[in-house]
């Protein structure tokens, strides 16, 4: 079975919450494709936004939660640092987290115990005045909010972080596994390492790139009106901008970040053949046209839609709602998202015909195949059905029953589906060869509709029968 091309070795990410917004309790781990499904107003967006906030708090889910200013800190020269360098230059010997200078380890642990960065990011992403506003929406004031993050790889824990909050107090704790191997004994440097090489060797900058993106639910409307929004207004409308002015915040951090990405968009900035290929399939097979980017000299980009076999281009406001909903995904794949990044998409099926929804499932699977990690929220039965079929296809491949290998598939290990319900803990929906990954309440709705239809049909047939007599 062919492996995922260029698949990165993402650490395993497990996030648990209690009494968080509308969520009573949840414990999820991020897979190559993570699906949040369930009724409206049960916390799918809240958990998605929390994942985003955690990422930006730590500037990535790297193997070690390096402090943001670690590069400047590494300019220090003391006995401990020189001893660490000496060990790094000793070949045939591994280098662990515990071998770092004590001052650097202490700084990392100090950062993990500082509530301000995570608190600020929560307020930015959720557009809040206080983190306590996230405590579960119930009449009880005794609930304690809990958020925990665990980062691991294979069977080894790497580091963890936990926040607890009440109406009056917020506290955080964290720890790092001292046995994390930062350099194996088989890694040999070409030269004697000095302090300048320290950060590079330990991959301090490896996860500093902005490789976590969020496509919010109102993206279609934003695409139709973005031309009237200036970058300075975006900054001023977010929680960060509010702290610098006396105005009222009107945008969440995710929407503000999305707007800035669109306003500053540059075609092909980080494009690759793989990402361009997925974007082209999305345009050809779903949009049946092309998203065109025009940038006037010194101005902001304008996005238009050119239907297939047409020379005319249409403004987003003149195009169908499907086009304005999917245009941001095309743009992000063509010019922003790179292999190995994570992309959160709220309701990718919005305003799409059922046939187009099934094609979007294929696009998501293609992203997984090229190494992009995807998180979605959805209500779509059609999308879930197609994801289930793609998993079935992957499982058939494992058995060697396919005559030819398909171009796109998923395996049950690559997909995690989580069911959100009102006033109930979030639970995982395990893949079933017969049922797929659909939540039980979908079947309940379908059964009720069917029973109602049968009853009404019977009344109508009886009326026709007796009316003819």
| pLDDT tens per residue, range 292-341 | 998 877 677 889 999 999 999 999 989 999 999 999 999 999 999 998 99
pLDDT at 207 over 90: no
Long-range contacts made by residues 437-440, C-beta under 8 angstroms, separation at least 24?
Answer: 437/35, 437/384, 437/387, 437/388, 437/391, 438/381, 438/384, 438/385, 438/388, 439/37, 439/38
Q: Which of 328, 252, 265 is nearest to 299 (CA)?
A: 265
> What is the pLDDT, as a whole number, of residue 163?
96
SS3 336: coil
* Residue range(s) defining the domain that contains residue 297: 218-337
Instruction: Give domain status of residue 309, yes or no.
Output: yes
**Helix pair 115-126, 253-263: axis angle to 10 deg:** 70
> For residues 86, 88, 94 and 95, what is the CA-based torsion angle, rounded to 10 degrees?
100
With respect to residue 47, please indicate whether it lies within any of the assigned structural domains: no
For range 244-249, the mean pLDDT: 47
Least confident window among 2-16, 143-157, 172-186: 2-16
Mean pLDDT of the chain: 84
Q: What is the pLDDT of residues 352-362, one digit of tens each?
A: 999 999 999 99
Burial of residue 396 (number of CB atoms within 10 Å: 0-12, 13-18, 19+): middle
Confidence of residue 270 (pLDDT cuts 50, 70, 90): low
Query: Between 283 and 79, where is the model more confident?
Result: 283
For residue 19, which of 169, 160, 142 has the smallest C-alpha distance? 142
Q: pLDDT confidence of 190, banded at 50, 70, 90?
A: low
Q: Has residue 96 been placed in a domain?
A: no
Report which of residues 51 and 143 the model is more confident about: 51
Alpha helices of 285-439 — where are they, by DSSP H? 321-335, 354-370, 381-398
Q: Which residue has the higher pLDDT, 35 or 65?
A: 35
Residue-level pLDDT at 301: 86
Q: Is residue 157 part of a domain?
A: no
In this structure, the number of other CB atoms found within 10 A of the CB of residue 19 comes to 22
Give the integer Cα–Cα distance in Å for 257 and 85.
Answer: 39
Whether 196 has a pLDDT exceeding 80, the answer reads: no
Q: Is residue 452 part of a domain?
A: no
Confidence of residue 1 (pLDDT cuts 50, 70, 90): very low
Number of domains observed in the structure of the chain: 1
Local confidence band at 37 (pLDDT 50, 70, 90 cut-offs): very high
pLDDT class of 175 with cuts at 50, 70, 90: very high
Backbone φ and ψ for 9, nearest 5 degrees, come out as -90, 80
Q: What's the confidence (pLDDT) of residue 438? A: 83
Q: Is residue 324 part of a domain?
A: yes
pLDDT tens digits for 421-439? Answer: 998 999 999 999 988 898 8
More confident residue, 17 or 455: 17
C-alpha 7/C-alpha 129 separation (Å) is 40
In a domain, 264, yes or no: yes
pLDDT at position 314? 94
Contact (CB, 8 A) for 415 and 13: no
Would the pLDDT of 41 be above 80? yes
Strands 181-183 and 170-176: unpaired
Q: Which range (52-61, 212-221, 224-233, 363-372) has the least confidence? A: 224-233
Length of the chain equals 469
Q: How confident is the model at residue 279 (pLDDT cuts 50, 70, 90)?
A: very high
Using 50, 70 and 90 to split pLDDT, how confident is the model at 234?
low
Q: Which pLDDT value is given to residue 208? A: 42
pLDDT for the residue 246: 46
Q: Is residue 207 in a domain?
A: no
Residue 191 pLDDT greater than 70, yes or no: no
What Cα–Cα distance (Å) separates residue 43 from each residue in 15, 22, 38, 382, 423?
A: 14, 5, 9, 21, 10
pLDDT at 430: 93
Q: What is the pLDDT of residue 3?
A: 45
In this structure, are residues 46 and 426 in contact, taking their beta carbons and an 8 Å threshold? no
DSSP class of residue 99? G
């Amino acid at each position: 079975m062919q492996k995922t091309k260029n698949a990165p070795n993402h650490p395993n990410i497990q996030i648990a919450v209690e009494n968080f917004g509308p969520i009573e309790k949840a414990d999820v781990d991020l897979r190559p494709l993570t699906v949040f499904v369930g009724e409206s107003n049960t916390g799918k967006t809240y958990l998605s936004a929390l994942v985003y906030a955690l990422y930006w708090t730590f500037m990535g889910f790297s193997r070690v939660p390096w402090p943001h200013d670690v590069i400047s800190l590494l300019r220090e020269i003391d006995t401990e640092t020189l001893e660490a360098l000496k060990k790094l230059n000793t070949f045939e010997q591994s280098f662990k987290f515990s071998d770092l200078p004590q001052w650097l380890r202490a700084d990392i642990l100090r950062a993990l115990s500082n509530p301000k960065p995570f608190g600020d990011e929560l307020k930015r992403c959720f557009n809040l005045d206080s983190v306590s506003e996230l405590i579960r929406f119930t009449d009880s004031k005794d609930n304690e909010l809990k958020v925990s993050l665990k980062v691991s790889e294979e069977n080894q824990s790497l580091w963890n972080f936990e926040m607890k909050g009440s109406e009056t107090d917020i506290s955080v704790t964290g720890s790092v596994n001292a046995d994390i191997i930062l350099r194996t004994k088989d890694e040999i440097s070409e030269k004697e390492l000095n302090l300048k090489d320290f950060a590079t060797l330990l991959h301090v900058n490896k996860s500093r790139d902005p490789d976590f993106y969020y496509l919010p639910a109102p993206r279609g409307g934003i695409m139709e009106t973005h031309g009237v929004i200036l970058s300075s207004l975006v900054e001023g409308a977010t929680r960060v901008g509010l702290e610098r002015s006396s105005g009222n915040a009107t945008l969440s951090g995710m929407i503000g970040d999305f707007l800035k990405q669109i306003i500053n968009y540059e075609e092909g900035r980080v494009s690759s053949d793989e990402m361009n290929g997925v974007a082209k399939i999305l345009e050809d097979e779903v949009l049946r046209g092309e998203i065109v980017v025009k940038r006037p000299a010194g101005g902001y980009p304008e996005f238009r839609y050119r239907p297939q076999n047409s020379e005319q281009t249409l403004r987003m406001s003149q195009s169908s709602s499907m086009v304005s909903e999917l245009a941001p995904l095309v743009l992000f794949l063509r010019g922003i998202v790179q292999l190995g990044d994570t992309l959160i998409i709220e309701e990718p099926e919005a305003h799409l015909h059922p046939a187009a929804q099934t094609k979007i499932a294929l696009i998501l699977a293609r992203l997984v195949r090229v190494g992009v990690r995807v998180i979605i929220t959805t209500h779509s039965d059609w999308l879930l059905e197609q994801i289930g079929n793609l998993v079935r296809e992957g499982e058939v491949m494992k058995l060697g029953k396919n005559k030819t290998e398909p171009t796109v598939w998923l395996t049950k290990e690559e997909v995690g589906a989580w069911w959100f319900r009102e006033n109930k803990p979030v639970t995982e929906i395990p893949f079933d060869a017969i049922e797929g990954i659909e939540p039980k309440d979908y079947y309940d709705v379908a059964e009720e509709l069917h029973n109602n239809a049968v009853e009404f049909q019977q009344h109508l047939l009886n009326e026709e029968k007796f009316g003819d007599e």
